[in-house]
Amino acid sequence: MASERQIYVGPIPIGGGAPVAVQTMTKTETANLSATMEQIRKVAEAGADIVRVAVPREQDSHALKEIVAQSPIPVIADIHFNHTLALKAIEAGAHCVRINPGNIGGPEKVAEVTALAKRHGTPLRVGVNSGSLPKHLRDLEFESPVDALVTAAVETVELMERLDFQNFKVSMKSTSVPNTIASNRLLSEKIPYPLHLGITEAGTKWSGSLKSAVGLGTLLADGIGDTIRISLSTFHAEEEVKVAWEILKALKLREKGPVLIACPTCGRLQFDMDRVVAEVEKRLEAYGDPIEVSVLGCAVNGIGEARHADFGITGAKDMGMIYSKGEPLKKVPTHELVDELFKEIDKYYAAGKTVTLDEREAAEAREWLAANEDADAMTPEKLAALEAATAVQESEADAVLESMLESKGPANGDGPAIDEAASPVSGRRFTRQR
Ligand code: SF4
């Protein structure tokens, strides 16, 4: 269930239907101002809405004031064990402070932090980690780690409410993807506060991205989660931001920059598509608009599969073609495909987002396409389309059968009604864009 409450971290709304915010965390020594600011600027450029910095020592809390002043995006101070540092972070103007009430020294210390946060209007992120659950939940953790996590999170929320503090979001972190999914689903039913999602210590760029995509993607598709951080074992925090955006873009929760579509390639490929795709992806980074660009490894299947793409290329051994919305634009030598593609994209923007077509070039391209496509070839795309069509036919047949059964009425008169809204992809999240 989506969160009802909304808080603000600086100018960024979190929860209550706001776009899912992208966070990351700097990996520099926070007190090293120049290195920390350099990383913050990089992550902001990559699209981070919010950045978190670790504040484990006095000198880090001293640097915080300047970091907050210089940062182009809101800054969260990440504090463990030492509530004095949390107080200093609030006084330094941090836009939010992260504490785990379970390890900050007891309810009295938490009360001191919430009292000061209230005076400054500073939101808190309060959380629990699977690795540091309170002692009284250890037995439950052994029996059911998910229930133990959720119980700890609910107890934390109750503590905040007893302290009359509502300006917070909650995080519940686990290294286990299934436990992260199950516990956040359960917690989202129990509390109205915004949720921060992440998979703790997810791993390297490759495995960590996949784990995060599965865990966070599943929850986000359910409408659960208001801010996300992808934890990757890399010094380059901007990589975490890029992965977070790919997850949000894949779910169509937010739009940012171009979408690249590329075929998986197969034995029909006749040019170095790996290199071409990598180059197109790199050059697209310079564009902010959410245009769709497609790269097809061959034209055997025509270009119908990419008819939704704003621009695309397809190639053969020596010659290739540029197209737009399924229409051939021009044929070009394969080694010039990428340059010519970007010339067309730039022309499109220069003409106020209008595709300009040279009829002679387009005719040549159509001729090339006709010579290179094979209407009868069974390609991976055609197989996928056939499977999709079969699935639609089967589901239509099921629907007809169900409606016949319904119109007859259930034998006992009170059979179950079909609830279309129960689809996991129904709901507000898929309609919201930044
Ligand atoms: S048949 Fe499809 S998958 Fe194979 S190279 Fe051509 S476009 Fe790519």
Q: Which tens digit of pLDDT belongs to each residue from 51-103?
A: 999 999 999 999 999 999 999 999 999 999 999 999 999 999 999 999 988 88
pLDDT band at 409 (very low <50, low <70, confident <90, very high): low
Of 276, 379, 382, 383, the residue with max ligand 1 atoms within 8 A of its CB, to mutate for a pocket test, comes to: 379
- Measure 369 CA to ligand 1 centroid, in angstroms: 14
Q: Span 164-177, mean pLDDT? A: 94
pLDDT exceeds 80 at position 133:
yes
pLDDT-derived band at 1 (thresholds 50, 70, 90) equals low
Is a pLDDT exceeding 60 seen at residue 343?
yes
Least confident stretch, 51-55, 114-118, 322-326: 322-326
What does the alpha-carbon distance between residue 320 and residue 368 come to, in Å, rounded to a whole number? 8
Domain 259-372 has CATH 3.30.413.10: yes
255 CA from centroid of ligand 1 (Å): 27
| Residue-averaged pLDDT of the chain | 90
> Model confidence over 3-39: pLDDT tens digits?
999 999 999 999 999 999 999 999 999 999 999 999 9
Of the two residues 202 and 398, the one the predictor is more confident about is 398
CB 120 within 8 A of CB 102: no
- 276: CA distance to ligand 1 center in Å? 14
**CB-CB neighbours of 387 under 10 Å:** 10
Give mean pLDDT, residues 113-122.
Answer: 98
Domain boundaries, the chain: 7-250, 259-372
Q: Which of 65-74, 323-332, 406-415 has the lowest mean pLDDT?
A: 406-415
Nearest CA to ligand 1 atom 3: 265
Query: By mean pLDDT, which of 240-249, 381-390, 393-402, 404-413 is the weakest?
Result: 404-413
- CA of 303 from ligand 1 middle (Å) equals 10
Q: 279 C-alpha to center of ligand 1: Å?
A: 19
Atom of ligand 1 nearest to the CA of 298: 6
Place of tokens 């409450």: 5
Residue with CA nearest ligand 1 atom 1? 379
Predicted confidence (pLDDT) at residue 393 exceeds the cutoff of 60: yes
Residue 329 near residue 288 (C-beta atoms within 8 A): no
User: Candidates 295, 301, 313, 383: which one to mutate for ligand 1, based on the most atoms within 8 Å of Cβ?
Assistant: 301
Residue 427 has pLDDT above 50, yes or no: no
Going by pLDDT thresholds of 50, 70 and 90, the confidence category of residue 420 is: very low
Confidence of residue 425 (pLDDT cuts 50, 70, 90): very low
Ligand 1 atom closest to 314 (CA): 7
Domain 7-250 grouped into CATH 3.20.20.20: yes
pLDDT for 200 equals: 83
pLDDT for 66? 97
CA of 298 to the centre of ligand 1 (A): 5
pLDDT at 329 over 50: yes
Question: Above 80 in pLDDT, residue 424?
Answer: no
When mean pLDDT is compared over 33-42, 103-112, 372-381, the highest value belongs to 33-42
- Among 263, 270, 272, the mutation site with the greatest number of ligand 1 atoms within 8 A of its Cβ is 263
Closest CA to 347 of 333, 329, 374, 362: 329
Ligand 1 cavity residues, CB under 6 Å = 263-266, 268-269, 296-298, 300-301, 379-381
| Mean predicted confidence (pLDDT) in 182-206 | 93
Q: Which pLDDT does position 61 carry in this prediction?
A: 95
CA of 336 to the centre of ligand 1 (A): 20
Say whether pTM exceeds 0.75: yes
Q: pLDDT at residue 385 above 80?
A: no
Q: Among 313-322, 396-405, 408-417, name the one with the lowest average pLDDT.
A: 408-417
| Comparison of pLDDT for 97 and 406, the residue scoring more | 97
- Percent of the chain having pLDDT more than 90? 70
Predicted confidence (pLDDT) per residue in 198-228, tens digit: 998 778 899 999 999 999 999 999 999 999 9
Whether the pLDDT of residue 271 is over 70: the answer is yes
Ligand 1 atom showing the smallest separation from residue 377 Cα:
1
Q: Which residue has the higher pLDDT, 299 or 191?
A: 191
Q: Per-residue confidence at 434, pLDDT binned at 50, 70, 90? A: very low
CA of 95 to the centre of ligand 1 (A): 49
Range with the poorest average pLDDT among 94-98, 131-135, 272-276, 329-333: 131-135
Q: Which atom of ligand 1 is nearest the CA belonging to 264?
A: 3
How far, in Å, is the centroid of ligand 1 from the Cα of 269? 6
Determine the residue of 270, 277, 298, 378 to mutate for testing ligand 1's pocket, defined as the one with the most ligand atoms within 8 A of the Cβ atom: 298
Confidence category of residue 428, pLDDT binned at 50, 70, 90:
very low
Across 416-422, average pLDDT? 50
Instruction: State residue 408's pLDDT score.
Output: 59
CB 335 within 8 A of CB 317: no
Same fold, 7-250 and 259-372: no
Reported as a pLDDT band with limits 50, 70 and 90, residue 401 is confident
Atom of ligand 1 nearest to the CA of 263: 8
User: Ligand 1 centroid vs 357 CA: distance in angstroms?
Assistant: 26
CA 302 / ligand 1 centre spacing (Å)? 10
